[in-house]
Amino acid sequence: MATWNSRGLRGSVLEDLVNRSNEIYLEKGLALIQKIPTPITPIQIDKQSRHITLAYFEQKSTVDYIGCVQGIPVCFDAKECISDTFALQNLHDHQVRFMTNFEKQGGVAFLLIYYSSRDLFYYLPYRDMMEFWNRKESGGRKSFRIEELNMDYTLTPRQGIFVPYLDGLQKDLGQRE
């Protein structure tokens, strides 16, 4: 089981950029998106500073973010990828189930992927995520390469919005109609 101090700061840069983008979207009245805290169970606490020094992540959490964009319920997970290949082991069964149920209820689910070696932000629509997931589940590749993605969903930072995922959402919604 992974522990809190063994995972370091993995994904924290992406999380910070998404959180700042969420603040700007809120300030502009465009969206209300909340970070869902990952539930942890403390194991060691420094008595002097009262800080958790060792903890383990509880098994089940949902996705990283959930909220509403101008009346549209959305949920998404943010993943960081160092190489051009995204390993689907970074996505968990319970997250896929949650996103599937969210979509069934009329919401929009997606992944935000940051390809750090390319400094590229990508919006992966639920339907595309499920194509890769189902391929894996039926015995196919357990990953997907950046070349398999629709580059129309690349997100370009602009106007102080570091991860402009509403651009990807707008394209996604347009293709659902």
Residue 64 known to bind ligand:
yes
β strands within the chain, DSSP E: 32-35, 40-46, 51-57, 65-69, 72-81, 85-87, 108-115, 120-125, 143-145, 154-155
Residue 95 known to bind ligand:
yes
Residue 154 known to bind ligand:
no
Residue 63 CB coordination number (10 Å)? 20
CA distance readout (Å), 177 to 105, 120, 172: 16, 27, 9
Residue 119 known to bind ligand:
no
**Cα–Cα distance between 96 and 115 in angstroms, integer?**
21
Q: With the CA atoms of 170, 174, 110 and 83 taken in that order, what torsion angle do they form, in degrees rounded to the nearest 10?
A: -80
> Which residue ranges are tagged as binding site?
62, 64, 77, 95
Binding-site residues from annotation for Mg(2+): 62, 64, 77, 95
